[in-house]
Each structure stands twice: as structure tokens, then as C-alpha cells.
């Protein structure tokens, strides 16, 4: 008998305890199955439709068959642009020997994590509890009711067969042990999702705030920027926090950290210098070698981050990245109806059936010499087509280590002249690269990610004053309203039917933020009214007694019905965004219910901030609303909107702006209109200083 250790929950600690036997039975009874994915709308599921594995989509039918036949579930979760998902498919899921084991012993469920974030979230919590880490592909072996008993990510073929046989054999021979282990996992996930409400009033003091900030800053990479880990993810919430805190508190070290991080990201291989857009992360700590997929959620958030950084620092390179991201979204990611696709794969799929990660984006010296000819020498220095920029197999990934200003000076050019030359080179290389086989674009439309894009576009508009960003944001919203919203119901993806679907809180939370953003850009009260309507719907559909919002509207098929997501990761949690939504709406409307609920959310998240501050960076960002003076700028009069637009060009993270050229019933503007004069009121909790007529005076009052 072979013994393998897995985790079990005991009290507050994880104890490794479960034993897997090599003995197993081949006499599995059950219903004949076949691969059922060909009619699915998800690209990821369709990619697995020809596997010999009898995949079925997630749903009540699969769980009922498993229960009826007392068969374990194999739940495999990934997404179309995931490189290692495709590697495991090639090695295991396309292999007939592996498929025979999977089909005889398991009900095999394939899930697109982008289509069903609830399933992904609840099993990711379990995977982290069982193994200490997570990732994709995520493979979960579960009881017939969906409770997990084993979890892993990518597993090589031979080891995968061994795991399948061992776990199924153990289930048949040591069932009571498995059920006990499953109960502990289930209880552990439930504990992770529940926070005991704080009954007493909590003071969110500046001293406490500063302790959290110091703790978070200890995790930063002072040399390369970003968080100090082996791999580099942009983590926009992480950058955004230190941007805001450094500007509010005059912290030069943190300000330098933000500038350095964004500069390194801009110069690194994570940035596609030819068509724009950022890859998901790099496998090294220098932002050089990317994991080549491009995700909408990264680019939408980085559009926002670079916009805010440009407002804060007036750095030309940051402004360039605003336009580079926008051009990329327009060029490669925009559908015919104006919505934005979800992702672009890391892999190039060749006609012979092989796949190669990153082939579309990499270069050999020979190629570049043939294309660039006499320009090769200086381009190779700029992009480090040398040992610094080397990847593997004689290939290079562009990697800038000298600033444009320094490089131009070394070449005896002005910065403008150099950048014009570089623009021509990049265009030539882009045209050459476009002839290659292009990586597959997942044309799935994800509502919440499009809402993030609206926010990014609004921030780009506020930073530059360029109407193209506002027009694009309004276009996206118009199509979302027409195609993905029915009454108060929001479809998470364009492949879902609104009727009887699961509703996801992140779609609402991100969208309310986008609607508030559209108000911030236009000062048309309709946007606030829509935001309030969806907020009130959320308070009925998702709000819980413990001052947080549940993940989804219907959790009946999940093994735990208490799924709440609070951690900020590569995207902010829907709850932390909602906290900021309630906070702003309470200021615009004078709504005490919204304000009180937002306060309670912050009070109840404090324990999480203390224990795992870097997992809650947007919460920490939002907490600055409670530890610093927060201003309401009410602008009323014939030139109100124009003055508001000018004010919006400033980096003012601790303020909301309300403006209208005519009398308004909005709480912040009510009874403040004077026919012939435009007044700016600087207020805190609607207590205002004497109104002024120009922006410079208003900013002085805020100081």
C-alpha cells in the first residue's frame, strides 16, 4: 500500500492526514456518457469537444448522475488563453489511455472559469486550503455532491493516471475517511467565507492605517518595482494604493516606487511594444519574459492606472501607454458591436496541430537583421537583442533598460526625433509580425470586464481630456444595455441566457462603478439614477446580514451556499468596489443608509487587513476615505461642467465632483445655483467653505 499525504482541517490549522491506497476496483457501474461540449458557447469548452474524455458541462444533470451511480466528479477548470491548460489537454485529455481511466471512474466536468466564476472561486478556495497554492488548469476530484477531496493544477500524464486511480480506489475502500476529510474541507471553505460582524464601533485611526501601510510596503520590490515575488503580476490595486497614499502624505519613497514600477512595466517584455497591450505576467522578477496571454481585465485596469499616474506625475511615458492600450483594444479586442473581447491566447496554433507559446511575439537576430538592415544596430541596443533580452531557442523578447531620453541623447537626437524614428521601426516590425499565424482571440464578452474597461476609459478621458475615450465608454455602455441587460438582470457573458441564469455580484459592482464614472465625465444625473437602481437591486439580491454581499444569486448547486469573495487579487473584489460605490453615492445623495453600510463593511474587514494586507489592497485603498479628509466639490452655474472638466484633469483621489449648468435637485447641488456666476463649493460632509469662482482658489481650500 502506498501512502500519500494530503491536507485536513483541524481547529485553525491545516494538518496533512489523508491516505490514498493503490488498490482500486475496475467494476464501475454507471450510465454511458459521451463528450457533450460541442454545443457549448464557450471557446474553452469547444476546444475540448473532440477530446476522448466524456466531458459534460457543469449542471444539475451531471451531479445527479454522479449521485445516482455513486461516482466521483472530476472537475477541470481553465480558460481559453491558458497555456498550461492546453499543455495538459495535449498530454492527458487527448490521450486515449488517460481518457479510459477518466471515463470509467469519474463523471468528468469541464468548466470555463470566465463563464462560471462562482465555480472557479469556490474550488480555488478549496485548492488553496488543500495545497497552499492555486492556479490553472485547476483539477478537482469531488464527491458526487461536489465537495472536494483532492486538488491540483497541471499534472504530467503518468502522475495524473496515478492520482486518478489512487483517489478512486481510496474512495471505494476507505469511504468513511474520505467523507470525514471532505467535511473538513467543506467546513474550512465555509470559515474562509464567513466574517463575524464586529458589534462595537471601530475607530479607523491614522496610526492603524500607517501600520498597515508599512506592513504592505515591506512586500514591495524596491529595485524592480511591484510586489517582491519571483514572478511579476501588474496588480493594479497594489500600485493604485501606493500612488494615492504617497500623494496624500507626501511620501517620496512610495512615490518613487510607483514611478519605478510603472516605468519598469512600460519598458519590460510584459509590454507589447508593437501593437500595445500588456501580457498577464512575467515568469521572472524583471518584467522581461511574459506568460504571453493578454487579458482584458489587466489592460482595462492598467489603462486606469497609467491615467491616474499621468495626472499625478505628468510623465509623458505614462500618457503614451494610455494611448497604446486604447489602440490595442481598438485594433485586436473590439467586436463589431463595440464590446471588448476577453483575451488573446499565449500560444500559436500551427496547421500540423502543434502549439508553441509566445511564437507570435518573439524574434531571432537573423529575422531582425533582415527586416531592419542598417537600423539593426541601434534597435538591438534599445531593445536588448543580446544576452539581456535573450529568452530561449535563439529567441529574444524586447526589453528596454535605458530611458528614451538617455538613448536619444547618446544618439545625438532630441527625444522627439528619436521617438519618431522608433515609431517607424515599430510600425515596420508590426507589419512583418502581422503576417505570422496569429494567436486565437477568445471573442467571449464578459460583462464585468467591459465595465472595468468603461472605468479605464473614463479615467483616460479625465487624464487627457480626449473625447475619444468618453465616446468609446458611452458606446460600450450602450451596447451592454441593449444586449446584456434585461430589467435588473445582467448576463455575465454573451453566451448566457438571461432567463433563470445565475447572477454574479461582480457584474453589478463593477457596473455601478462604471455608471458613477460616466457621471464623473458628463455630470448627467441619469447615470447616478441608474447606479442607485442597480445598487438597490444588489441590496435585495446579494446583501447579507454580516455587511458583505454574496458572490452569486443562486448557489444551490455549489457544495457550500456561503460563497463570499473579499480578497483583492489581479482584480479588486466586488465587495471592495461596492464599498467605494456606496461611499460615493452616499456623498452625492446624502444617503445615510449607504454611508452606514459602507462604514460597517470597512469595520468588518479590518481583521483581514491586519492578517493579510497584500490580499486586500483595494480595501486598503478604500480605507483612505475614512482616514483622510474627503472633499465634496459642488460646482453650480453656467460654466459648471467646463470647470468640473478642468478640475478632473487634476489627481484628486479624495474628492467627488458634482456639477450642473442649471438648477439641480442632486443633494450636493440643491439650492446652490446662481444664474450669472459659477461657484465652486469645497465641502466636507456637506459642510462647505465660502464658495469661490476659480479652480486655483478651490484647490487652495482643499490644501
Question: CATH code at 181?
Answer: 3.40.30.10
Instruction: From 72, 79, 82, select the one nearest 109 (Cα to Cα).
Output: 72
Q: How far apart are the first and last CA of the chain?
A: 72
- Cell triple for residue 392? 530561449
How far apart CA 238 and CA 656 sit, in angstroms, is 22
pLDDT for 555: 87
Do 649 and 580 fall into the same domain? Answer: no
User: Rg (Cα) of the chain, in Å, rounded?
Assistant: 27
Report the predicted TM-score, pTM, of the whole model to 2 decimal places: 0.91
Do 393 and 419 fall into the same domain? Answer: yes
With respect to residue 316, please indicate whether it lies within any of the assigned structural domains.
yes
With respect to residue 199, please indicate whether it lies within any of the assigned structural domains.
no
pLDDT for 230: 86
| Residue 530 structural domain | 206-348+442-627
Do 16 and 140 fall into the same domain? Answer: yes
How far apart CA 197 and CA 603 sit, in angstroms, is 9
Do 327 and 283 fall into the same domain? Answer: yes
Dihedrals φ, ψ of 366, to 5°?
Answer: -60, -45
Do 623 and 636 fall into the same domain? Answer: no
Q: Last residue of a domain, which of 627, 650, 674?
A: 627
Do 393 and 501 fall into the same domain? Answer: no
With respect to residue 698, please indicate whether it lies within any of the assigned structural domains.
yes
Identify the segments of the chain with pLDDT beneath 50: 1-31
Q: Name residues whose C-beta falls within 8 Å of residue 215's C-beta, 6 or more positions apart in sequence.
A: 613
Q: If you write DSSP's letter for every residue of 555-617 in order, what string do you get?
A: -TTSS-S-------SSS--HHHHHHHHHHHHHHHHT-HHHHHHHHHHHHHHHHHHHH-GGG-H
Q: Quick check: 624 and 248 in contact, CB under 8 A?
A: yes
pLDDT for 349: 87
pLDDT for 227: 95
Do the bridges between strand 341-344 and strand 294-295 make them parallel or antiparallel, or are there none, so unpaired?
antiparallel
Do 431 and 521 fall into the same domain? Answer: no
Do 95 and 43 fall into the same domain? Answer: yes
pLDDT for 386: 96
pLDDT for 206: 76
Structural domains counted in the chain: 4
Burial status of residue 337 (CB atoms within 10 A of its CB: 0-12, 13-18, 19 or more): middle
With respect to residue 2, please indicate whether it lies within any of the assigned structural domains.
no
Question: CATH code at 576?
Answer: 1.50.10.10
| Cβ count within 10 A of residue 221 | 17
Do 499 and 645 fall into the same domain? Answer: no
User: Residue 135 gets which letter from DSSP?
Assistant: -
With respect to residue 198, please indicate whether it lies within any of the assigned structural domains.
no
How far apart CA 376 and CA 179 sit, in angstroms, is 64
Q: Last residue of a domain, which of 627, 658, 674?
A: 627
| Cβ count within 10 A of residue 462 | 25
Q: Last residue of a domain, which of 435, 450, 468?
A: 435
Do 189 and 255 fall into the same domain? Answer: no
With respect to residue 145, please indicate whether it lies within any of the assigned structural domains.
yes
Tell me the CA distances in angstroms from 107 to 69, 127, 145, 155, 474, one per residue in order: 10, 19, 12, 19, 45
Do 410 and 467 fall into the same domain? Answer: no
Q: If you write DSSP's letter for every residue of 627-683 in order, what string do you get?
A: HS--EEEEEESTTHHHHHHHHHTS--TTEEEEEESS---STTTTT--BTTB-EEEEE
With respect to residue 675, please indicate whether it lies within any of the assigned structural domains.
yes
Do 31 and 162 fall into the same domain? Answer: yes
Q: Name residues whose C-beta falls within 8 Å of residue 402's C-beta, 6 or more positions apart in sequence.
A: 381, 382, 410
Helix, coil or strand: residue 93: helix
How far apart CA 196 and CA 564 sit, in angstroms, is 13
With respect to residue 512, please indicate whether it lies within any of the assigned structural domains.
yes
Amino acid at each position: 500500500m502506498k501512502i500519500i499525504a494530503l491536507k485536513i482541517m483541524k481547529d485553525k490549522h491545516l494538518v496533512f492526514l489523508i491516505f490514498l491506497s493503490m488498490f482500486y476496483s475496475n467494476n464501475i457501474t454507471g450510465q454511458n456518457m459521451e463528450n457533450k461540449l460541442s454545443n457549448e458557447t464557450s471557446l474553452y469548452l469547444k476546444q475540448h469537444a473532440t477530446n476522448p474524455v466524456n466531458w459534460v458541462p457543469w449542471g444539475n444533470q451531471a451531479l445527479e448522475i454522479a449521485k445516482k451511480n455513486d461516482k466521483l466528479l472530476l472537475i477541470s477548470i481553465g480558460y481559453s488563453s491558458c497555456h498550461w491548460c492546453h499543455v495538459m489537454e495535449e498530454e492527458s485529455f487527448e490521450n486515449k489511455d488517460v481518457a479510459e481511466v477518466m471515463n470509467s471512474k469519474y463523471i468528468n466536468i469541464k468548466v470555463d472559469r470566465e463563464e462560471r466564476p462562482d465555480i472557479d472561486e469556490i474550488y480555488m478556495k478549496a485548492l488553496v486550503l488543500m495545497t497552499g497554492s492555486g492556479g490553472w488548469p485547476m483539477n478537482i476530484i469531488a464527491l458526487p455532491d461536489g465537495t472536494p477531496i483532492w486538488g491540483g493544477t497541471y499534472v504530467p500524464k503518468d502522475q495524473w493516471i496515478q492520482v486518478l486511480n489512487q483517489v478512486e480506489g481510496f474512495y471505494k475502500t476507505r469511504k468513511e475517511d474520505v467523507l470525514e476529510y471532505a467535511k473538513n474541507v467543506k467546513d474550512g471553505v465555509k470559515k474562509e467565507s464567513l466574517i463575524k460582524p464586529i458589534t462595537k464601533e471601530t475607530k479607523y485611526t491614522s496610526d492603524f492605517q500607517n501600520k498597515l501601510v508599512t506592513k504592505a510596503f515591506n512586500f514591495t520590490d524596491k529595485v524592480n518595482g511591484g510586489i517582491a515575488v519571483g514572478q511579476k503580476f501588474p496588480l493594479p490595486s497594489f500600485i493604485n494604493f501606493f500612488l494615492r497614499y504617497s500623494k496624500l502624505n507626501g511620501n517620496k519613497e512610495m512615490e518613487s516606487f510607483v514611478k519605478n514600477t510603472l516605468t519598469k512595466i512600460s519598458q519590460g517584455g510584459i509590454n507589447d511594444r508593437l501593437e500595445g497591450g500588456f501580457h498577464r505576467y512575467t515568469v521572472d522578477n524583471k518584467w522581461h519574459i511574459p506568460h504571453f496571454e493578454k487579458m482584458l481585465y489587466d489592460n482595462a485596469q492598467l489603462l486606469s492606472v497609467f491615467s491616474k499616474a499621468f495626472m499625478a506625475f505628468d510623465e509623458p511615458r505614462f500618457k503614451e501607454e494610455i494611448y497604446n492600450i486604447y489602440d490595442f483594444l481598438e485594433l485586436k479586442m473590439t467586436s463589431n458591436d463595440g464590446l471588448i473581447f476577453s483575451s488573446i491566447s499565449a500560444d500559436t496554433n500551427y496547421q500540423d496541430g502543434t502549439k508553441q507559446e509566445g511564437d507570435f511575439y518573439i524574434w531571432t537576430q537573423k529575422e531582425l537583421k533582415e527586416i531592419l538592415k542598417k537600423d539593426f544596430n541601434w534597435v538591438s541596443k534599445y531593445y536588448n537583442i543580446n544576452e539581456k533580452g535573450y529568452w530561449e531557442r535563439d529567441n529574444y523578447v524586447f526589453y528596454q533598460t535605458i530611458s528614451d531620453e538617455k538613448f536619444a541623447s547618446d544618439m545625438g537626437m532630441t527625444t522627439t526625433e528619436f521617438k519618431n524614428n522608433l515609431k517607424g521601426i515599430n510600425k515596420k516590425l508590426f507589419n512583418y509580425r502581422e503576417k505570422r499565424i496569429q494567436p486565437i482571440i477568445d471573442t467571449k464578452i464578459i460583462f464585468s470586464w467591459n465595465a472595468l474597461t468603461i472605468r479605464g476609459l473614463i479615467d483616460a478621458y479625465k487624464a487627457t481630456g480626449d473625447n475619444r475615450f468618453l465616446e468609446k465608454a458611452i458606446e460600450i455602455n450602450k451596447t451592454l444595455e441593449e444586449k446584456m441587460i434585461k430589467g435588473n438582470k445582467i448576463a455575465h457573458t454573451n453566451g448566457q441566457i438571461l432567463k433563470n441564469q445565475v447572477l454574479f455580484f461582480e457584474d453589478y459592482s463593477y457596473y455601478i462603478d462604471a455608471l458613477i464614472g460616466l457621471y464623473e465625465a458628463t455630470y448627467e444625473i441619469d447615470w447616478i439614477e441608474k447606479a442607485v437602481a442597480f445598487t438597490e437591486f444588489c441590496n435585495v439580491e446579494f446583501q447579507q446580514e454580516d455587511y458583505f454581499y454574496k458572490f452569486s444569486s443562486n448557489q444551490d448547486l455549489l457544495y457550500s451556499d456561503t460563497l463570499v469573495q473579499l480578497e483583492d487579487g489581479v482584480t479588486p473584489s466586488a465587495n471592495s468596489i461596492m464599498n467605494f460605490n456606496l461611499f460615493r453615492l452616499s456623498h452625492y445623495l446624502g444617503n445615510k443608509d449607504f454611508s452606514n453600510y459602507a462604514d460597517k463593511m470597512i469595520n468588518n474587514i479590518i481583521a483581514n487587513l491586519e492578517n493579510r494586507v497584500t490580499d486586500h489592497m483595494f480595501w486598503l485603498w478604500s480605507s483612505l476615505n475614512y482616514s483622510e479628509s474627503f472633499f465634496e466639490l459642488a460646482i453650480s452655474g453656467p460654466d459648471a461642467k467646463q470647470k468640473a472638466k478642468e478640475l478632473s484633469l487634476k489627481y484628486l483621489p479624495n474628492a467627488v465632483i458634482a456639477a450642473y449648468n442649471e438648477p439641480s435637485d442632486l443633494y450636493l447641488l440643491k439650492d446652490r445655483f446662481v444664474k450669472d456666476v459659477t461657484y465652486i463649493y469645497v465641502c466636507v460632509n456637506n459642510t462647505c467653505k465660502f464658495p469661490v469662482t476659480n479652480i486655483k482658489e478651490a484647490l487652495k481650500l482643499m490644501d
